[in-house]
Amino acid sequence: MAEMKYTKDHECVYLDGDTAWVGISKHAQDALGDLVFVELPELGKTVDKGEDVAVVESVKTAAEVYAPLAGEVIEVNEIMESDYDLIAKPVNEQGWIVKLKVSDASGDDLMDEAAYAEYLKEVD
């Protein structure tokens, strides 16, 4: 069964089998503000857990999007390069930035929604 997970760096991950749909959390979206640019990786790029996989730039700042799990980039959301409002959609709909074919699913530090909400209370 697919489920939504979160990282301490505010990535949002929708896990569906060995595919991870990666985006940013609502918290990160709110902190960034309006996007002005998204830099997507090349298809076939392999990333280690914690490695930057994309960059999102807003009117306020630029932020790396880190790979929550190790894997290979199998799809990029090219529509997001021209429609920045997609980032506000749920990751399991059109709000994903990249899809990874997961090579190492050991994501012990991924949090479910309740744990992420508690984490946000601690850091805010």
Per-residue pLDDT, 2: 66
The two tokens of residue 116 are 């992420």
| Residue 74 near residue 43 (C-beta atoms within 8 A) | yes
Per-residue pLDDT, 78: 95
Angle, vertex CA 39, rays to CA 37 and CA 45, nearest 5: 170
Per-residue pLDDT, 8: 95
Domains and CATH numbers, the chain: 3-123 (2.40.50.100)
Would you say the pTM of this structure is higher than 0.85?
yes
Per-residue pLDDT, 123: 87
Q: What is the mean pLDDT of each run of 10 residues along the chain (124 residues)?
A: 86 93 94 92 96 94 95 96 90 94 84 95 88
| Residue 55 near residue 24 (C-beta atoms within 8 A) | no
Per-residue pLDDT, 1: 52
What DSSP character marks residue 40? Answer: P
